[in-house]
Amino acid sequence: MQTKGWLFHCRSGYESTLASEVSAAADSLGVHGFCRARKGDGFVVFEVLSTDVPPPPQLIFARSGSTLLTELDNLPKGQRAEHIAASLQQNLGSATPWVEYPDSPEGRHLARFCRRFSGAAKRTLEASKVIAGDPRQRLHLLFTDSSRVIISVSTDSTWPMGIPRLRIPKTAPSRSALKLEEALLRLVPGDETPSPGEHAIDLGAAPGGWSWIMRQRGAKVTAVDNGPLARQLADDPGVVHLEQDAFRYRPAQPADWLLCDVVDRPHGVAKLIYRWFEKRLCKAAVFNLKLPMREPLNTVKSCLKVVSASGVRVHAAQLYHDREEITVYARLVE
């Protein structure tokens, strides 16, 4: 079945939220179409009704986006790769197609199948010259079951399914370190990442996962939390622990970075970040917005509007290592 449009991966359970965001983005681009989204699938398809399909927009609730080529059903066992190759034109993309599955309870059962199928897919697509073309273009094969595949292409995908496979040493104070590590990889441009000698203030730091990441990158850290830090951070001369309320603390001197992963209402956090930027108490910030049960997209957009009013540019996403939250990177516009 030939389909024009976009394919987006997302966290399972947020399909309707992403569909709303996709529809709004399409309207702003003057693109007419409709979403196919089912709760729990882990992906959203937007079918475009016009002949021209622009590149997929970058969205908060999407882990990755690609341009649809076709959808195939009833793939015969033992000849799946041949049927896929026969449906595609030559010179579509690079020599390494990504065989993917939805990051959902049902989709994860396909992980083993996709790993085993990858070799056959590459060999067959190479022989058919489907993947002998532009190395900047990636071919995606998303299997929703072993006999059905959604095929798409992208030019800016970094990780299969939009998921960076990060590993943090067991010595890290908490798994929250993965959230900041992914945020620095996905949201922060390479020339703006933390540098040795910079100063970071970590609000609500305990037990210190985010402070630990900044220390790994050579920054000095002021950790603000009434709770205790992990022993390795408490003994680190590059970390100053202030047992103070994170919402009331203000530094004597501006910092390079503000970090904030506190549990509070999203608008409360947005107003806190706004005040820090409005007073020029930091140059950049990474913070989380805990999502409400109702209208998460409208809540996030409202919060980003509050923060942006302080004179910063923002980039937000629901990261793989996030749960019911959105991570935001903000930096003052010079």
From 77, 179, 290, 305, the catalytic residue: 290
Helix, coil or strand: residue 52: coil
Helix, coil or strand: residue 296: helix
Pairing mode of beta strands 98-100, 138-145: parallel
Q: How far apart are CA 108 and CA 251, in angstroms?
A: 46
| φ/ψ of residue 232, rounded to 5 | -60, -30
DSSP string, 196-209: TT-EEEEET-TT-H
Query: Which sign does the torsion angle of CA 209, 214, 219, 223 carry?
Result: negative
User: Is 290 a residue of the active site?
Assistant: yes
Strands of the sheet containing 282-290, edge to edge, are 239-242, 220-224, 199-203, 255-260, 282-290, 325-332, 312-317
Task: Give the catalytic positions in this structure.
Answer: 290
